[in-house]
Amino acid sequence: MRTRLAVVCNLIVPGSGLIVLRREWLGLAAAVLFGVFGQTALLGLLLLPATIPAWMTMLSFSAAVFVWLGAQWQLLVRIRTATGPDVERELAFLRRRAAEAVARQAYAEATDILRVAMTLDDEDLEANIQWAELMTLTGKFPQADRAWRRVLQLDRTGEHTRRARAALAALPQD
């Protein structure tokens, strides 16, 4: 879901898809450069052709095209690295370590581990379930409420819907 959104955004505004995929600075730089070069090219072509030299207009247009192509390339590279098999293996390892930490009642360690897992892929359903369970277990009920609602959003098959709804109903209401 996020990958498709990133592709569409990046086609319209180069760099915005990189921002969606957590490459904020690179995405912002591409978007700003594209905006500056594109606006200069449009000014030279359409609004102020007598004021802006033709060479500057063509250079700006070429630079805007180059930035657009570069942003598409960077998005492709980011999608390949963010969705590769290495990421899934790392997520499985982190989820296992978090479960072991919870079993030892090392809740701070489990929190740190799950934060790393969520940084890798915040749409990983199993990591979100573990996060929701940990927040419930440690008595952080506002965070648990948000986490269980996130589980409901991510559970496309409905496999964990009943469990999440039961957990939400069991949370204390302030």
Q: How does pLDDT run across 49-105, given as a tens digit for each residue?
A: 888 888 999 999 999 999 999 999 999 998 887 777 788 899 999 999 999 999 999
Which two three-digit tokens encode residue 118? 């969520």
Residues 38 and 91 in one domain: no
Q: Average pLDDT of the chain?
A: 91
Residue 74 shares a structural domain with residue 89: no
Residues 58 and 130 in one domain: no
Task: Look at residues 67, 82, 97 and tell me which one is the last residue of a structural domain.
Answer: 82
Q: Tell me: do 28 and 63 sit in the same domain.
A: yes
- Interatomic CA distance for residues 94 and 114, integer angstroms: 7
Domain boundary among 26, 54, 82: 82
Is residue 75 domain-shared with residue 89, that is, in the same domain? no
User: Total domain count for the chain?
Assistant: 2
Q: Can you tell me which residue has the tokens 């409901």? A: 152
Q: Are residues 44 and 112 in the same domain?
A: no
Question: Is residue 2 exposed (0-12), middle (13-18) or buried (19+ Cβ within 10 Å)?
Answer: middle
Domain that holds residue 165: 85-170
| DSSP per residue, 15-81 | THHHHHTT-HHHHHHHHHHHHHHHHHHHIIIII-TTTS-HHHHHHHHHHHHHHHHHHHHHHHHHHHH
Tokens for 125? Answer: 């359903």
Q: Could you tell me the pTM of the whole model?
A: 0.64
Domain boundary residue, one of 65, 82, 99 = 82
Question: Has residue 152 got a pLDDT over 90?
Answer: yes
Q: Are both 89 and 154 inside the same structural domain?
A: yes
For residue 109, the domain's CATH number is 1.25.40.10
Percent of the chain topping pLDDT 90: 66
Q: In this structure, are 53 and 126 located in the same domain?
A: no
What is the rounded CA–CA span in Å between residue 130 and residue 121?
A: 13
**Smallest Cα–Cα separation from 153: which of 142, 143, 165?**
165
> pLDDT class for 35, splitting at 50, 70, 90?
very high
Same domain, 91 and 60: no
Say which residues have a Cβ less than 8 Å from residue 102's Cβ, sequence separation at least 6: 110, 130, 133, 134, 137
Judge whether 144 and 135 are in contact, CB under 8 Å.
yes
Q: Are residues 89 and 77 in the same domain?
A: no
Task: Identify the band that residue 123 occupies on the pLDDT scale cut at 50, 70 and 90.
Answer: confident
Residue 151 pLDDT exceeds 70: yes
Does residue 12 sit in the same domain as residue 65?
A: yes
Mark residue 53 as left, alpha or beta (left: phi above 0; alpha: psi -120 to 50; beta: remaining): beta
Please tell me the predicted confidence (pLDDT) of residue 121.
Answer: 82
Residues 101, 148: one domain? yes
Joined tokens for residue 12: 């319209």
